[in-house]
Amino acid sequence: MQRRACLAAVGTALSTTLAGCSSVLSAFDDDPCGGEDCHIGMNRTEFTPAVYEVSAGDTVVWKNTSEADHTVTAYESGIPDEAEYFASGGYDSQAAAREAWKDRGGRLGTRDTFEHTFEIPGTYEYFCIPHENAEMIGEIVVE
């Protein structure tokens, strides 16, 4: 019986240690979206990079590269007048996205992605609803 308890304790400690290592390693990753799977990563309270430049017609892919839940939500007052509103979950307004978040609508879990195609040149400001107070905001510059 003592052997089982010992093995359980060692297994739990090892799992906790490995989980901690993966979190620590991701903290040192300057480009969590290297390659083709995404352009903008999300760590605990920031978009990486915070400012991203594209050409009109380009599609941007965000990926939750952290263990926290996030959203990608445009500020209605922070996008060009003619531009299409965007938010993870497909909401058509900032108010609708905020309301949906009460039931976790628009949630991007770990490794989930969201994409949007930017057709109109200009600057687009966006944020993460649950981390807005931590200033998790980003900007897309479309030329």
In Å, what is the CA distance from 126 to each residue of 19, 38, 46, 51, 75? 30, 17, 11, 10, 5
28, amino acid identity:
F
In order along its 143 residues, the chain shows pLDDT tens digits of 565 554 444 444 444 433 443 333 344 455 677 666 899 999 999 999 999 999 999 999 999 999 999 999 999 999 999 999 999 999 999 999 999 999 999 999 999 999 999 999 999 999 999 999 999 999 999 99
Domains and CATH numbers, the chain: 40-142 (2.60.40.420)
In Å, what is the CA distance from 93 to each residue of 89, 117, 124? 11, 17, 14
